[in-house]
Amino acid sequence: MSHITVAIDGPSGAGKSTAARAAAARLGMIYADTGAIYRSIAYKALSEGVDISDERAVGEFLPSVRPELRFVDGEQRVLVNGEDVSDKIRTPEISMATSKISAYPAVREFLLGLQRELAAKNDVIMDGRDIGTVVLPDATLKIFLTASAEKRADRRCKELAEKGTPQAYDDVLKDIIKRDYDDSHRQTAPLRQAPDAVLLDTGDMSLEESVDAVCALIKTKS
């Protein structure tokens, strides 16, 4: 396979990260979860008491943050200022905070170079909200991976229950619908399908079927 970059965009809870990670492992590529980098900044801001609703305060905070992706035995770990926060950034609170700060132009500009550098040096599958539209506009393959809000809420409820932190379905659905609106209506790099992206609806697919579909699309570009 020649050097290849794959951009996978889509709404929260669509299964982008899970499918991208599994596809990368199957194909021997690097998986870059850019959403985790944004989450690490949100986590650090909250832990430092930064008012994330204050765009200026967040911008002034950024120079003190050092996000990093490390790949250990093929697994991505997310560090911020040397602290491994991989297992601390998947809470609903961090999700909502991430949606807020990711709308700030300074935050997106801060991380743009890191994301592009990863893609320039590796065969990479990168997922997020604006990978195909902004971060990697010349990606070898662009996929817009989605599912209905109801399907995503159902999956999220099952995940939370399995982690021992169950939440009511209606609350989860409400959060997903709000995040969809926020992500698609933000002024900077809103969530949208790139004109040349392949639409992949995984609402009725199992994880294995989703991974098969992503791998099949990638192989058409090899």
pLDDT in tens, 12-53: 889 998 999 999 989 988 888 888 899 999 999 999 999 999
Q: Do the strands 67-72 and 198-201 form a parallel or antiparallel pair, or are they unpaired? A: unpaired
CATH number at residue 81: 3.40.50.300
Please tell me the total count of domains within the chain.
Answer: 1
DSSP 8-state class, residue 192: -
Strand intervals (E) in 49-171: 67-72, 75-80, 83-84, 124-128, 141-146
Structure tokens at 22: 């599994």
d(CA 102, CA 185): 12
CA within 13 Å, CB half, 163: 14
d(CA 157, CA 180): 17
Whether the Cβ atoms of residue 2 and residue 219 lie closer than 8 Å to each other: no
Predicted confidence (pLDDT) per residue in 154-208, tens digit: 999 998 999 898 999 999 999 999 999 999 998 888 899 999 999 999 999 999 9
Q: Do the strands 75-80 and 67-72 form a parallel or antiparallel pair, or are they unpaired? A: antiparallel
Domain holding 45, by residue range, is 5-219
Q: Would you say residue 1 has pLDDT above 60?
A: no
Q: In what order do the strands lie in the sheet with 67-72?
A: 67-72, 75-80, 83-84
